[in-house]
Amino acid sequence: MSETHVLAEGATLNSFGHDPWWIIGLKALVVFVFLLLTVLITVWAERRIIGRMQLRPGPNRAGPFGILQALFDGIKGALKEDIVPRGVDKVVFFLAPILAAAPAMVSFSVIPWGGVVSIGGHKTPLQLADLPVAVLLPLAMASIGVYGFVLAGWSSMSPYALLGGLRSSAQVISYEIAMGLSFVAVFLFSGTLSTSEIVAAQAHGTAFKVAGMTLHTPSWYAVLLLPSFIIYIFTMMGESGRIPFDLPEGEGELVAGYHTEYSSLKFMMFYLAEYVNMTTLSALCTTLFLGGYRAPWPITWFWSGANSGWWPVLWFLIKIWMFTFFFIWLRAALPRVRYDQLMKLGWKVLIPVSLGWILFVSVVRALRNEHHDVGPIMIVAAIIVVLLLIASFLWERVSASEAQPEEAEAAAEQDPMAGGFPVPPLDAPHYHGVGNGRAPNSAEATRA
């Protein structure tokens, strides 16, 4: 495949803003229909796949292989009686599910699902919108989606819902920082925040020749920036609020978390938000790390037309569904983590590791730009990483052996029934610098 051919098919920022209104409307409609259909299929696929993993059939009555089950459940759920408990704040209670579902859908508008195609004689990129700061939009929308969960919890006037909403917000904002940091390395390489240009930047690695053949270094950022990719996978799980990080709705503790009091269509909105989020996060990961809509390497090697016309949509769908399957697989395979483990992973592992990784990547980039040899830096970095791992391992062993007796002592101090009914310890001692040793205050969390 020649270089000019590739460039002609890929979209850039300049490809946007030339569409007539009906193409914009069509694309917006397609985004909505695609997301709603994907949710239906994902719900069905999840139940079938988890059924298979648990040696049971899963839904198999409605339609062939039960594929209509999700649709019927959706219709039935939306037609149920809508119970609004007496105590709730009615306006906020109504707005919260919309606030949760809408941002998840808006995020998808900056995801490219194909290159430039011709619709009715117009050349148009298969992407609803692209901005010079496109990747900021999903991050911003994730933050707005948090309002939906918090306000749902707050307006329900129920302890379970309130705790679920608070947990959800703390979890999502904690993981969003690490998510933003994991993107920085991608921007360092692509030099842009526009999603279509990030996809274009992953089109080719640098060429090198072996035995007369021209080969390319891997061009996907998932390979080039593997640590960023792994951090994103963790944050993606945290952001989506699914197992193993589904603490906000841990049914053993909180009934159903922030949507305990919701029923009928309002509940379906939260359900929709969760699954749309899953698709959007998968699509974002595909775009930033897996070369977006571009065909994977072995296919482009023997089929030069793989990236032209409508074919990219197929590669895009395959990549998204790989991630969706990954989500479902994790749900079947992993137990729920504890809340302190969740926060520890987010703040004490993912964020420091991201910061260190950004430093490393930027140094390597700078040296390469100035045509220096990066070999020594790599060796020094490898030594530092190994030393840190050993140090954190030792620290964990030492602090684990120290922590045992103190924890038992602390448990004895608290009166769990103070005030006549169970209350959590509101005034934790380590806020005042007392008993600081008991707080897990150091590298014991470096279980990356």
Partner 1 sequence: MHGYYGTYLTVVVLFAIGAAIVGGAFLANRALRPHRPTPEKLTTYECGVDPVGEGWAQSYVRYYVFAYLYVVFAVDAVFLFPWATVFSAKGYGYVTLGEMFVFLAFIAAGLAYAWKKGVLGWV
- The residue range among 53-61, 223-231, 235-243, 364-372 that interacts with partner 1, by the rule CB under 8 A, is 364-372
Query: Which residue in 123, 131, 126, 74 sits closest to 107, CA to CA?
Result: 131
Nearer to partner 1, 40 or 45 (CB): 40
Nearer to partner 1, 163 or 278 (CB): 163
- Do the Cβ atoms of 57 and 47 come closer than 8 Å? no
List binders of partner 1 among 85-144 (CB under 8 A).
85-87, 98, 101-102, 105-106, 109, 128-131, 133, 135-137, 143
- Do the Cβ atoms of 227 and 357 come closer than 8 Å? yes
Query: Would you give the distance in Å from CA 57 to the centre of its chain?
Result: 29
Pairing state between β 116-119 and 122-125: antiparallel
Nearer to partner 1, 71 or 299 (CB): 71
Report, in Å, the least distance between residue 162 CB and partner 1: 5
Q: What is the sign of the dihedral through the CA atoms of 409, 411, 412 and 418?
A: positive
List binders of partner 1 among 235-294 (CB under 8 A).
255, 260-261, 264-265
Report, in Å, the least distance between residue 238 CB and partner 1: 13
Tokens at 335, concatenated: 């137990």
Buried b (16+ CB within 10 A) or exposed e, 173-199: ebbbbbbbbbbbbbebbbebbbbbbbb
Nearer to partner 1, 58 or 148 (CB): 148
Query: Would you give the distance in Å from CA 369 to the centre of its chain?
Result: 32
List binders of partner 1 among 328-347 (CB under 8 A).
339-340, 343-344, 347
Helix (H) or strand (E) holding 123: strand 122-125
By rule CB under 8 A, what count of residues binds partner 1?
98
| Residue bearing tokens 């969003």 | 176
By CB neighbour count within 10 A (0-12 exposed, 13-18 middle, 19+ buried), where does 299 fall?
Answer: middle
Residue 122's φ and ψ, nearest 5 degrees, are: -100, 135
- The residue range among 1-9, 228-236, 350-358, 379-387 that interacts with partner 1, by the rule CB under 8 A, is 350-358
List binders of partner 1 among 408-427 (CB under 8 A).
421, 423-426
What is the rounded distance in angstroms from the CA atom of residue 421 to the CA atom of residue 418?
7
Report, in Å, the least distance between residue 270 CB and partner 1: 13
Question: Out of 51, 227, 244, 440, which residue is the one contacting partner 1 (CB under 8 A)?
Answer: 440
List binders of partner 1 among 1-30 (CB under 8 A).
16-21, 24-25, 27-29
Report, in Å, the least distance between residue 78 CB and partner 1: 6
What is the rounded distance in angstroms from the CA atom of residue 111 to the CA atom of residue 87?
41
Nearer to partner 1, 318 or 428 (CB): 428
Q: What is the CA radius of gyration of the chain?
A: 24
Report, in Å, the least distance between residue 294 CB and partner 1: 21
List binders of partner 1 among 25-44 (CB under 8 A).
25, 27-29, 31-32
Report, in Å, the least distance between residue 297 CB and partner 1: 25
Nearer to partner 1, 45 or 269 (CB): 269
Report, in Å, the least distance between residue 31 CB and partner 1: 7
What is the rounded distance in angstroms from the CA atom of residue 215 to the CA atom of residue 196?
24
List binders of partner 1 among 152-211 (CB under 8 A).
154, 156-160, 162-163, 166, 169-170, 173-174, 176-177, 180-181, 183-185, 187-188, 191-193
What is the rounded distance in angstroms from the CA atom of residue 61 to the CA atom of residue 290?
37
- Do the Cβ atoms of 217 and 167 come closer than 8 Å? no
Question: Out of 366, 382, 387, 398, which residue is the one contacting partner 1 (CB under 8 A)?
Answer: 366
Question: Out of 114, 249, 348, 392, which residue is the one contacting partner 1 (CB under 8 A)?
Answer: 348
Query: Which residue in 232, 138, 135, 126 sits closest to 179, CA to CA?
Result: 232
Nearer to partner 1, 65 or 339 (CB): 339
Report, in Å, the least distance between residue 210 CB and partner 1: 27
List binders of partner 1 among 54-83 (CB under 8 A).
78-83
Nearer to partner 1, 304 or 442 (CB): 442
Q: Hey, what's the torsion of the CAs at 277, 278, 284, 290, to 10 degrees?
A: 180
Nearer to partner 1, 275 or 311 (CB): 275
Residue 389 near partner 1 by CB under 8 A: no
